[in-house]
Each structure stands twice: as structure tokens, then as C-alpha cells.
């Protein structure tokens, strides 16, 4: 049994819900204004970050639970669910600040950190497990109800955000119009926090009410949106299948070299899941044959993509230990594995088309809640796991004291990291103790010049088909290219005889300049640096053309890259090479 649609409900009930929603929006806006004022005035609760984060999380997220549930849930059950939401939001936000997974910024009411996204996801998923069950008066609702309410509220959220944005756009337009005739009242009004916070929250609440009383229109927008998304599924299947089919020929090394393999693979898995659901919708109607087969194939492709993502994370953890990001990645792989198994069963099982998908979605919603609660509580705190992992690597000798990331403990691991640094400061190993003490004194992160890890073979060389001299790859001193240590693939290289001695120099783009290296007495040394004369340019795109040249002009030489002029500053500000021509500009194609 479900409540009547808002269009056919008792007008008094609709009016009561509208008033409650507007009051909720006003209360939210006033609370956010008070938090903003406390932050600027450096008054309580801003003086206690954990308390501030707890109140802010409640003020930001819990009103959405009330706005969404007012028209369909009994008030007693909604109150109980609201209390649970308050405890969850406040508890997770406070612990996130305490553990270092979130922080309070001086000018932002919203705490910064992945924990805030986790709270939003947890309450959204939780609400759409609670509300449908309450509507049907049963512990587990029918899949069609879960589908209908979840996607309806997703569309409502988007439309309400657009409505609120349009409201502010009109206010700024009014401000500009009246300012032209010397009336500044509106401009001053919209700049006042006591107006902007309540106005924004009330307009959002009003938008939720307006979309709720026209639920049929919302469902229409939802249907059109899902239909459009569904027809992207065949394309996504072709992309995923083509990628997997190409891997055996290209190998995995190129994939791992990106250092983004796990994130990209999990993103692909997420697209497959979302688009498959867009094609399946509530399962009451079978889609066109193309979409039906695309959904089955997508269900089978999820498994190898998830396995590759898990393997990519395992490689990084095995090589460099845990970090919070890798812990989050492991959690994502666990959830993705559940979808991969369930969707593969749905794709292969005979009978009603993809029917097991429904049970998979409901089960994985509960799993996702459990994973989020484990991650953002002391049970599996990513910061704690990461600190323990990195310290274990240091103690076992897997990482040398001078290569250990002390800045992670100092700036990214909160109180746990500070405690670890205190322990390391008293370590028997003098090198460890020295580095830990230095890290404790730092007020900002140190850029690590870890050039010894630069794999020069990974530098892309233009034009295509050229390669760097073996003596350069194996003989360049590590410190010469520290700017490429983190992302060698972002440092394109080229070859050009700069000084006319018949031997090509090596040009490497580092950030927005080109470093030039010359072979001298069998050793590659820095020849100079070429910098754009007219600000940042797209050097890599220009280098791909293969057009490198020298534009001699006293008292210095300039480098031409695809027509862009870069001023060469020789090493130690030496004079231009002898014999440089100054009477003309020469441009040659790199050989």
C-alpha cells in the first residue's frame, strides 16, 4: 500500500506538507547562517572543529531527508529516521575531522573531505531503502518502488538545484538593472549572509514541493532521461569490449604506467552499471532487442574490468603500501565485485530478462551502506590503515628512511600521523629520527625531488617514430629531470641540433618550459632552458607537429616550436654558441 499521489491527495494534507517543507528550509537556512557567522567571528562552535563539523553535516544533509519523506512517510517513522540520520551525519563528520579525513576551512561552512561525500551517499542510499519500505509497510519493498522513488528524488534534486540557481540568477539580474539607475539596495541585500542562506534553503524547499505536487511531470522527465541514457549503453559496451579485446595485444604495462588504471577502470564499471539500470528501469517492460543484448553483454564485461581494477590496486599497494585513496579504491572494488557477480548471473540466467539484477541492486545497496560505515568509523579508518601500512614498510626496510613520505604523516594523516611522527622522532635509526623531526617543523608540504624514479623510456618522443639516445636514457643524472618524477608521460621530448655541431640535443618539456640537454665528453648535461615569451602555450600539441627550429638573434638564441618562440637561457647564462647565425630565422623539421 502506498500513499496517494500528490495530485490527488487531500488539499489540506498538501498544504500541511508545503508548510512543513518551507519551515524546514527556513530552519536549515538560519542554522547555516549561524554557522557561517560563527566561522567568521571565530566563535563557538567554530572553535571546536569536530563539533562544528557535526552540526554542519546535520544542517546540510538531514533537511533533505525531511523534505523527501514528508509526503510519503508517517510522521512518527519519519521522526525516527530523522533521528538516525542526525546521529549518523553528526557522528561520521565529527570522527572525520578527528581522524583527518575532513577539515574545516576558514571561509567554508561545508567541511572539506571525502567523508562529506560519503555522508551524502550514505543518507541518500539509506533514505531510499527506508522510504519505500515504509510506503509498502514491509521490511523490503518491491524493486519497482525502490526504482520509482530513487530516480524520482534524483530528478527532483536536479530540478530543485536548477530552480534555486535560476532564482539567484534573477536576483543578480535585478541587482544589475537597479544598480544602473543608482539603486543599490538589492545588491546590498543579496550580499548579506542573513538573507542568502535562508533564501537559498527556502527556495530549494519550495522547489521540492512544486515538483512533488506535479509528480507525473517529474516521472516524465525521468523517463525521457533514462531513455536517452539507455541508448548510450550499446556505445559503452563497444568501448569496454574493444578495450578488453585490445589488451592482449598491447599488454598491461601501458595501462599500469598511467598510474590511473584503477580509477579509470572503476569509472568504466560505474558507467556500465548505471547505463544497464537505465535500460532495465523497473523491469516491467522489456527494452528493444539492441538494448536487451547490450545489457546482457555489459553484465559479462563487468567481471574482467573489476578484476583488472582490483589487480591494479593490489600492484600499487604491494609496491608502495596503503594510502587513504587506495583503501577507498579497495572498497569500491568490493562493491563493484558484488555488481559484477550479480549482473553476470542476471545476464546468463534463463527466464525473465535480467531479473536477478533486482535482487543484486537491493542487496548491494545494503552492502554499500555497510562499507561506508566501516570506512568512516574506527573499524577500518583509511588513515589508520595507511599509517600502519607505511610504518610497517619503513620498519621492514621496504622503503629507505630518506625515501619515506614523512609529509603524509605531517599533513594528511591528522592526529594519528602526528603521533607517528613523534614516535619516529625517537627512532634508534638516526636518519629516521632526523627526517621525522624536520617534518614536524614544516608548515607546508615539501616537494620531493625524487628524480631517481624517473623512467626516461616513458617520455613520449615527437615526432612519432623517433627515440631518445640510449646514452641519454641510461646516463642522464637523476637530478636533471626531477620535474618529471611523478608523471614522466607528461614530459614530451624532441631531438634538434641546437648549436650546429652535427649532434642533436635532447629537448624535454617540463611544466611550461623546455629543458635542453647536450652530450659533452660522453655525458649529458643541461645546455639551457627555453621559456615561452608570451605566456603559457600548449607546448605538447606543438611538439607533436615535429617542427623544431632555431631563431638566432643577438644577443641570444630563440627556439621555435611549431611556430611559437621560446627564449633560450643558456646554462650559467653563457653567451650563445659561437657561429650562430643572426641574419635570418631558420626552421627545420626534426629528423
**What pLDDT was estimated at residue 63?**
97
Which of 9-13, 84-88, 454-458 is predicted most confidently? Answer: 84-88
Which residue spans within 129-200 are E strands per DSSP?
none
Same domain, yes or no: 105 and 26: yes
Residue 4 within any structural domain of the chain: no
Coil, helix or strand for 532?
strand
Q: Which of 334, 352, 380 is the last residue of a domain?
A: 380
Inter-CA distances, 55 with 85, 127, 147, 227, 483, Å: 12, 20, 31, 40, 43
Give pLDDT tens digits for 383-427.
Answer: 999 999 999 999 999 988 888 989 899 988 888 999 999 999 999
Same domain, yes or no: 140 and 188: yes
Same domain, yes or no: 422 and 523: no
d(CA 564, CA 544): 13
**What pLDDT was estimated at residue 3?**
47
Coil, helix or strand for 381?
coil
Which residue spans within 203-306 are E strands per DSSP?
none
CB of 208 closer than 8 Å to CB of 236? no
Lowest mean pLDDT among 73-82, 94-103, 351-360, 516-525: 516-525
CB of 569 closer than 8 Å to CB of 529? yes
Whose cell is 621559456? That residue is 531
Q: What is the DSSP letter of 490?
A: G
Taking residue 58's Cβ as centre, other Cβ atoms within 10 Å add up to 21
Which residue spans within 370-522 are E strands per DSSP?
493-496, 505-510, 513-520
CB of 201 closer than 8 Å to CB of 62? no
For residue 403, the number of C-alpha atoms closer than 13 Å in the C-beta half-sphere is: 12
Inter-CA distances, 57 with 4, 20, 107, 115, Å: 32, 21, 16, 10
Q: Using 50, 70 and 90 to split pLDDT, how confident is the model at 329?
A: very high
Same domain, yes or no: 44 and 155: yes
Q: What angle do CA 286, 289, 294 make, to 5 degrees?
A: 95
Same domain, yes or no: 407 and 364: no
Number of domains in the chain: 4
Q: Which of 344, 362, 380 is the last residue of a domain?
A: 380
* 107-136 mean pLDDT: 94
Parallel/antiparallel/unpaired status of strands 564-570 and 493-496: unpaired
Give pLDDT tens digits for 514-557.
Answer: 888 888 777 888 888 888 766 666 666 667 766 667 776 544 56
Give pLDDT tens digits for 210-266.
Answer: 999 887 888 899 999 999 999 999 999 999 999 999 999 988 887 877 778 999 999
Same domain, yes or no: 140 and 209: yes
Residue 448 within any structural domain of the chain: no
Residue 103 within any structural domain of the chain: yes
pLDDT at residue 584 greater than cutoff 50? no
Same domain, yes or no: 326 and 388: no
pLDDT at residue 97 greater than cutoff 80? yes
- Give the percent of the chain with pLDDT over 70: 88
* C-alpha grid cell, residue 591: 629528423
**What pLDDT was estimated at residue 376?**
95
pLDDT at residue 154 greater than cutoff 80? yes
Same domain, yes or no: 373 and 392: no
Write out the residue range of the structural domain in which residue 504 sits.
453-589
Residue 240 within any structural domain of the chain: yes
Per-residue burial over 214-253, b = 16 or more CB atoms within 10 Å of its CB, e = otherwise: ebeebeebbeeebeebbbebbebbeebeebeeeeeeeeee
pLDDT at residue 559 greater than cutoff 80? no
* C-alpha grid cell, residue 243: 578495450
Radius of gyration of the chain (CA): 30
Q: What angle do CA 488, 491, 496 make, to 5 degrees?
A: 130
Same domain, yes or no: 393 and 500: no
Of residues 260, 246, 162, 275, the one with CA closest to residue 211: 162
**What pLDDT was estimated at residue 490?**
75
For the chain, give percent helix, strand, coil, nearest 5: 65, 10, 25
Same domain, yes or no: 176 and 304: no
Q: What angle do CA 515, 519, 520 make, to 5 degrees?
A: 120
Q: What is the DSSP letter of 409?
A: I
In total, the chain counts a number of residues equal to 591
**What pLDDT was estimated at residue 16?**
93
Q: What angle do CA 423, 427, 428 make, to 5 degrees?
A: 160
Coil, helix or strand for 429?
coil
Residue 425 within any structural domain of the chain: yes
Distance separating the N- and C-terminal Cα atoms of the chain: 77
**What pLDDT was estimated at residue 533?**
67
Q: Global pTM?
A: 0.76
* C-alpha grid cell, residue 392: 610497517
Coil, helix or strand for 273?
helix
* Choice between 137 and 576, residue whose per-residue pLDDT is larger: 137
CB of 133 closer than 8 Å to CB of 390? no
Residue 189 within any structural domain of the chain: yes
CB of 197 closer than 8 Å to CB of 59? no
The DSSP code sequence of 503-529 is SPEEEEEETTEEEEEEEETTEEEEEEE
Taking residue 44's Cβ as centre, other Cβ atoms within 10 Å add up to 10
Q: What angle do CA 201, 8, 281 make, to 5 degrees?
A: 75
Inter-CA distances, 565 with 216, 393, 417, 483, 542, Å: 61, 48, 47, 22, 11
Same domain, yes or no: 132 and 210: yes
* C-alpha grid cell, residue 343: 549482473
d(CA 35, CA 41): 10
Residue 193 within any structural domain of the chain: yes
Taking residue 470's Cβ as centre, other Cβ atoms within 10 Å add up to 9
Same domain, yes or no: 389 and 375: no
Q: Which of 380, 415, 432 is the last residue of a domain?
A: 380
Amino acid at each position: 500500500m502506498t500513499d496517494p499521489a500528490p495530485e490527488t491527495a487531500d488539499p489540506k494534507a498538501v498544504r500541511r506538507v508545503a508548510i512543513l517543507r518551507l519551515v524546514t528550509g527556513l530552519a536549515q537556512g538560519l542554522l547555516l547562517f549561524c554557522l557561517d557567522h560563527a566561522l567568521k567571528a571565530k566563535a563557538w562552535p567554530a572553535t571546536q572543529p569536530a563539533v562544528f563539523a557535526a552540526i554542519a553535516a546535520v544542517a546540510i544533509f538531514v533537511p533533505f531527508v525531511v523534505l523527501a519523506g514528508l509526503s510519503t512517510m508517517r510522521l512518527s517513522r519519519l521522526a525516527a529516521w530523522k533521528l538516525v540520520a542526525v546521529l549518523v551525519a553528526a557522528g561520521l563528520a565529527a570522527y572525520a575531522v578527528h581522524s583527518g579525513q575532513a577539515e574545516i576551512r576558514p571561509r567554508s561552512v561545508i567541511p572539506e573531505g571525502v567523508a562529506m561525500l560519503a555522508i551524502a551517499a550514505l543518507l541518500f542510499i539509506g533514505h531510499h531503502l527506508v522510504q519505500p519500505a515504509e510506503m509498502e509497510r514491509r521490511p523490503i519493498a518491491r524493486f519497482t518502488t525502490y526504482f520509482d522513488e530513487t530516480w524520482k528524488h534524483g530528478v527532483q534534486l536536479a530540478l530543485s538545484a536548477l530552480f534555486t540557481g535560476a532564482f539567484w540568477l534573477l536576483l543578480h539580474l535585478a541587482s544589475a538593472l537597479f544598480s544602473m539607475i543608482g539603486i543599490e539596495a538589492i545588491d546590498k541585500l543579496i550580499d548579506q549572509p542573513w538573507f542568502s542562506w535562508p533564501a537559498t534553503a527556502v527556495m530549494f524547499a519550495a522547489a521540492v514541493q512544486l515538483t512533488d505536487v506535479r509528480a507525473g511531470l517529474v516521472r516524465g522527465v525521468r523517463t525521457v532521461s533514462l531513455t536517452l541514457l539507455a541508448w548510450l549503453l550499446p556505445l559503452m559496451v563497444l568501448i569496454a569490449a574493444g578495450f578488453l579485446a585490445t589488451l592482449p595485444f598491447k599488454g598491461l604495462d601501458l595501462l599500469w604506467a598511467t598510474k590511473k588504471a584503477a580509477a579509470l577502470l572503476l569509472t568504466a564499471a560505474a558507467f556500465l552499471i548505471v547505463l544497464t539500470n537505465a535500460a532495465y528501469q523497473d523491469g516491467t517492460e522489456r527494452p528493444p532487442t539492441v538494448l536487451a543484448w547490450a545489457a546482457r553483454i555489459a553484465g559479462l564485461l563487468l567481471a574482467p574490468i573489476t578484476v583488472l581494477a582490483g589487480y591494479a590496486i593490489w600492484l600499487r599497494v604491494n609496491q608502495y603500501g596503503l594510502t587513504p585513496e587506495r583503501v577507498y579504491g579497495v572498497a569500491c572494488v568490493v562493491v563493484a565485485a558484488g555488481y559484477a557477480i550479480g549482473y553476470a548471473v542476471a545476464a546468463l540466467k534463463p527466464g525473465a530478462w535480467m531479473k536477478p539484477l533486482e535482487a543484486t541492486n537491493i542487496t548491494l545497496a545494503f552492502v554499500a551502506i555497510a562499507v561506508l560505515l566501516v570506512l568512516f568509523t574506527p573499524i577500518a579508518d583509511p588513515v589508520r590503515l595507511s599509517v600502519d601500512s607505511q610504518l610497517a614498510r619503513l620498519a621492514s626496510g621496504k622503503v629507505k628512511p630518506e625515501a619515506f613520505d614523512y609529509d603524509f604523516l605531517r599533513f594528511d594523516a591528522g592526529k594519528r600521523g602526528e603521533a607517528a611522527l613523534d614516535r619516529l622522532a625517537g627512532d634508534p635509526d638516526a636518519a629516521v629520527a632526523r627526517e621525522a623531526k624536520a617534518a614536524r617543523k614544516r608548515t607546508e608540504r615539501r616537494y620531493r625531488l625524487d628524480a631517481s624514479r624517473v623512467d626516461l623510456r616513458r617520455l613520449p618522443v615527437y615526432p612519432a617514430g623517433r627515440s631518445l639516445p640510449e646514452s641519454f636514457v641510461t646516463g642522464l643524472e637523476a637530478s636533471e629531470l626531477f620535474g618529471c618524477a611523478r608523471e614522466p608521460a607528461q614530459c614530451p621530448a624532441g631531438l634538434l641540433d641546437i648549436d650546429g655541431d652535427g649532434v642533436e640535443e635532447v629537448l624535454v618539456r617540463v611544466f611550461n618550459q623546455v629543458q635542453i640537454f647536450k652530450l659533452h665528453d660522453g655525458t649529458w648535461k643541461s645546455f639551457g632552458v627555453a621559456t615561452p615569451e608570451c605566456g603559457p602555450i600548449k607546448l605538447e600539441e606543438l611538439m607533436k607537429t615535429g617542427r623544431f627550429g632555431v631563431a638566432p638573434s643577438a644577443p641570444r638564441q630563440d627556439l621555435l616550436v611549431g611556430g611559437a618562440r621560446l627564449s633560450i637561457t643558456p646554462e650559467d647564462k653563457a653567451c650563445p654558441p659561437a657561429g650562430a647565425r643572426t641574419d635570418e630565422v631558420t626552421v627545420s623539421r626534426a629528423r
